[in-house]
Amino acid sequence: MHATIPAPTPLRLFGKLDPVVESRPDGVIVVRSAKPLPHYSASLVDRLEHWAKVTPNRVFLAERNAEGGWRELTYGAAFEQILHIGAALLARDLSEEEPVLILSGNGIDHALMSLAGMAVGVPTCPMSTAYSTVSQDLGKLTYALDLLTPRLVFASDGRTFGRALKKVKERGIEICVSDDTAAELGATPFQSLLDRPISSAVVSARTQVGPDTIAKFLLTSGSTGYPKAVTNTQRMICANQAQLSEAMAFLKDEPPILVDWLPWAHTFGSNHNFGIALYNGGTLYIDEGKPIPAGIGATVANLRDIAPTIYFNVPKGFEALLPHLQADESLRRHFFSRLKLMFYAGAGLSKPIWDAYRELAIETTGRPIAFTTSLGSTETAPGALIGVRDVDRPGIVGVPHKGVELKLVPNAGKLEARLRGPNITPGYWRRPDLTQAAFDAEGFYLLGDALRLAEPNNFAAGFEFDGRVAEDFKLATGTWVSVGPLRVDFVGKFDPLIKDAVVTGHDRDDIGMLVFPDEEQTRKLAPHLPPETPFEEVVTDQVVKDAFQERLAAIARQSTGSSSRVTRIALMCEPPSIDLGEATDKGSLNQRAVLANRAPHVEALYAAETRPNVIRL
């Protein structure tokens, strides 16, 4: 029996985002917050300068060092160091046309390079580490070099990124590294940028940075798999941070403490989480872990050291962490000790995982801890809608932020979401064709998601995600299939046997799935097979297939009609490909890319002859 932990001093959690609704004669609905967005900073570096003056000795960033301790960077030191680096960038005549490309993952030197660029008007572009390390053909790196034309490419670790840096150097582009490989690579040592004296040019450049200055480019892949460079202005980032502080009101009451692994090559990790720490004078402990068996141990170790006040993760991350919290009371009590809010994004969270965290919080602290999510994209900086109620189930993405207008357009029986506000991108770098196609005649960004009210006729209760408009399809019978909700429900019911799945059935008689099994869990179904058995033989073993078929049949019995009944699955042995644009390093799938690249598997799924890896009802 555990003693009840006393409740902390009452703290504001959520702000008021009371929505007002405009209904148009053509069926279009526009929803916005009743109150306007307050004033926000002109640039993110202005916030760094503010905290450097007000709390110069507060830790801004921390990362593990070689000895296992924490390398810490204060606000005062960070602001001074970015001015030195900024002088070095200006001395190279870098600009929007010839920016900095960052290959390495999250780290203090990465942050300093990015903020230095922001300070003097030189954009940076962080690239997914998988494009330089996992990719076999370095195709996306080549594409990014062609699209952005950088004149400086940075990587913290010259050995890890050696193959990619060699390709960069072949083009005559300057490379910069933090470690001791600079001499052998012919690279510029990062320390030399820090040693550059602060010049008058830096002071002058700082005055020229304003809301419409490009802060960074973020790469996002479309259905073709080729990266688009989303222009991120200072206005976008700072407006969104002000919006987040209005929605999560407790951020104004005390500096947040984050333990976060989410990659800065993506908007959730960089603009959202890194930005929350910086904008609100908090501390970000950089988690080198990952939500996979080989990486979750590092996350657990970091959470033993540091108790966050707000915890962000993707659903796979919450799933990977859950058994460790359940098994370790000491870890659990430390994790929840000062936690105000849990926040998931990037994909749908299953109800069992949601319930488990709610139960753990009550068991550990004697009270529930709010669990929320939001809706947005790289193009929206990223937050556009956010849940500001303590709800009883996952999937409610909330209401529009202050300053955001949500336009809902009837489309094939659903409400297609479009967005307008100061946090929306001006467009895609050097792709005016894509920019034009991304906005409607009123200037609303076409998000591509569909929404539905969480409660009938109650806009204050917020919206639920209702799938991707472009992914939904009709069966041969004319029945619409809502891909997003169906996929989330299916994967959740197959937990823990599968990692993800892609819905099939366009113009077919019934719904199928290309399923990506969890290899570790799937092998447990066949203890009679030797550990060295190739995985393609494991998934065709009859015992394994019987277990999958039993689960598939149970799910089918719960379906309410042909629009939700999955009748066949194909077990994929090859994981989603980074090179082919099927997956990101966060683990999310590109439905259209998988279907295009694996068309033969789809055909085999519906063929008269049943292949060994196909399971049917």
* Alpha-carbon gap, residue 403 to 37, rounded angstroms: 5
What mean pLDDT value characterizes the chain? 93
For position 8, what pLDDT does the model report?
A: 39
The b-or-e profile of 510-520 (16+ CB within 10 A means b, else e) is bbbbbbbbbee
Tokens of 609: 């002859």
Q: What share of the chain is helix, strand, coil (3-state, %, to 5)?
A: 35, 25, 40
Q: What are the two backbone dihedrals, phi and then psi, of residue 66, each rounded to the nearest 5 degrees?
A: -65, -25
Read off the tokens for 500. 């993800």
Residue 216 CA to residue 218 CA, distance in Å, equals 7
**Nearest CA to 94 among 67, 56, 124?**
124
Q: DSSP characters for 106-150?
A: S-HHHHHHHHHHHHHT--EEE--THHHHT-SS-HHHHHHHHHH--
DSSP state of 222: -
In terms of DSSP bridges, do strands 174-177 and 188-189 run parallel, antiparallel, or are they unpaired?
parallel
pLDDT, position 479: 84
Find the helix or strand (DSSP H, E) in which 257 lies. strand 257-260
- In the structure encoding, which two tokens stand for residue 382, read together? 């990223």
Q: How far apart are the C-alpha atoms of 483 and 487, rounded to whole Å?
A: 6
Question: Is there a contact between 414 and 472 (Cβ–Cβ < 8 Å)?
Answer: yes
Under DSSP, the state recorded for 350 is P
In one-letter notation, the amino acid at residue 421 is G
Evaluate whether 161 touches 190 at the Cβ level (below 8 Å).
no
* Distance between CA atoms of residues 264 and 258, nearest Å: 14
CA–CA gap between residue 372 and residue 349 (Å, rounded): 10
**Helix intervals (H) in 197-342:** 200-208, 234-247, 275-279, 296-305, 315-327, 329-336
Distance (Å) of CA 584 to CA 131, 157, 284, 346: 9, 21, 23, 11
Task: Name the residue with tokens 């029945």.
Answer: 479
Note the pLDDT of residue 585.
Answer: 63
Query: SS3 letters for 525-591?
Result: CCCCCCCCCCHHHHCCCHHHHHHHHHHHHHHHHHCCCCCCCEEEEEECCCCCCCCCCCECCCCCECH
Give the Cα separation of 468 and 490 in Å (integer).
16
The pTM of this model reads: 0.86
- Which residues of the chain carry a pLDDT beneath 70? 1-11, 221-225, 584-587
